[in-house]
A and B are shown apart, each in its own frame.
Chain A
Amino acid sequence: GDSVTQMEGPVTLSEEAFLTINCTYTATGYPSLFWYVQYPGEGLQLLLKATKADDKGSNKGFEATYRKETTSFHLEKGSVQVSDSAVYFCALKTNAGKSTFGDGTTLTVKP
């Protein structure tokens, strides 16, 4: 079946550090890929998405590229801020409309 594997957390960084959260997936066909962010006490919000191979999703300084050859969708940000502290979820959605989520990675950014 479909699956999403995320880098285990928690991840702790200093402000302005470079962030990478790895995500790989297994799915039949060509899924759409997403990163969601969950701030404390809130639901998940879409951070960025990519719908086909080599697409790059970007938002708020975060980027991720849909790599079909490595079945990956790693999340990156060049300079993190304290306000980026949250839980990040990688997810896929198949053409049949079913969504599968990774286990989430908790990011803490210290000033």
Chain B
Amino acid sequence: SQQGEEDPQALSIQEGENATMNCSYKTSINNLQWYRQNSGRGLVHLILIRSNEREKHSGRLRVTLDTSKKSSSLLITASRAADTASYFCATDLDSNYQLIWGAGTKLIIKP
């Protein structure tokens, strides 16, 4: 079963523009993580935000978390061609031993 759902499913923007992806989830969480996947290969961890945090930054990435709305957003500023990838949100559950993933947002950066 999927806990997170990303929105939009696909996003195509011009290089230099900002990209925003959203994630909604269903149950209470301890943390939410964002990962990037290039061309169906391994996943790369981007940011982990805990349930008591509202915003986190890492370089050109900004993640927000709204636990009252059970949603998170990932903002990539000043996008580059290398940002072209699929982006996934993943949440833990009370069991704590597994990550539950959404279906991902496919981001294409046009030169």
**A and B from one complex:** no
Binding site for A on B (CB under 8 A): none
